[in-house]
A and B are shown apart, each in its own frame.
Chain A
Amino acid sequence: EVQLLESGGGSVQPGGSLRLSCAASGFTFSSYAMSWVRQAPGKGLEWVSGIHSSGDSKYYADSVKGRFTISRDNSKNTLYLQLNSLRAEDTAAYYCAKRLAAVGPNFDYWGQGTLVTVSS
């Protein structure tokens, strides 16, 4: 059974940092591209960042470019998202998601989400 378990969320002041983790199991993690998607309270979904299966290629939404860094450790079956220079508008539930096919926003498995709250 595929499982994605996020952790690392919490409350932080504007300008602060957090590191999110996503522990994967039930599939060959090193064979699949992964992404982070966030959802502000009561709002819609926003794609944040993606990473190739090997970790060599990384992609970001304009809203987080230069502040967030995605990475993965295939030996630990874990995906990460480093959040720096956090702003109030970054407050959201952050989901990690596994991609089904080679190209496209086809995320077939999602974690339960971890909540990040940015507030003074």
Chain B
Amino acid sequence: QSALTQPASVSGSPGQSITISCTGTSSDVGGYNHVSWYQQHPGKAPKLMIYDVTNRPSGVSNRFSGSWSGNTASLTISGLQAEDEADYYCSSYASSNTYVFGTGTKVTVL
């Protein structure tokens, strides 16, 4: 159950698009279409942004989108806004009803 690999930081200017990658193995990301993405602001609980690779929960902006190829999932934030500055974590099903999170990515809005 090793953590999924994410870049430590990603930055962009307001209005730009950024993409965060999440790399695992065929035993987790590559083996199942059950990848989720969470946003966490400092001192707050995580918020579900994407589940099952591409699905957005009710109330989440359509500026957030997910994709998946092989052992890597990605989260794209379009039209970057100041409020998007936060930590982002991916998570994947990892067999036998266990889950694994990514190492986390700090998104900075320049």
Interface positions of A (Cβ within 8 A of B):
35, 37, 44-47, 50, 57, 59-63, 95, 100-101, 103-108, 110-113
Contact = CB atoms under 8 A, between A and B. Distances in A.
A45 B101 contact: yes
B103 interface: yes
B100 A47 contact: yes
Interface centre among B32, B34, B98, B99 (most CB of A within 10 A): B99
B96 interface: yes
B48 A45 contact: no
In this complex, the interface size class of chain B, counting residues with CB under 8 Å from chain A, is 20 to 34
Contacts of A57: 97
Interface centre among A100, A111, A112 (most CB of B within 10 A): A100
A107 B48 contact: yes
A111 B45 contact: yes
Contacts of B35: 104-105
Contacts of B96: 59
17 contacts: A37-B101, A44-B104, A59-B96, A60-B98, A61-B1, A95-B45, A100-B57, A101-B52, A103-B34, A103-B93, A104-B32, A104-B36, A104-B93, A105-B99, A105-B101, A106-B52, A108-B48
A93 B47 CA distance: 16
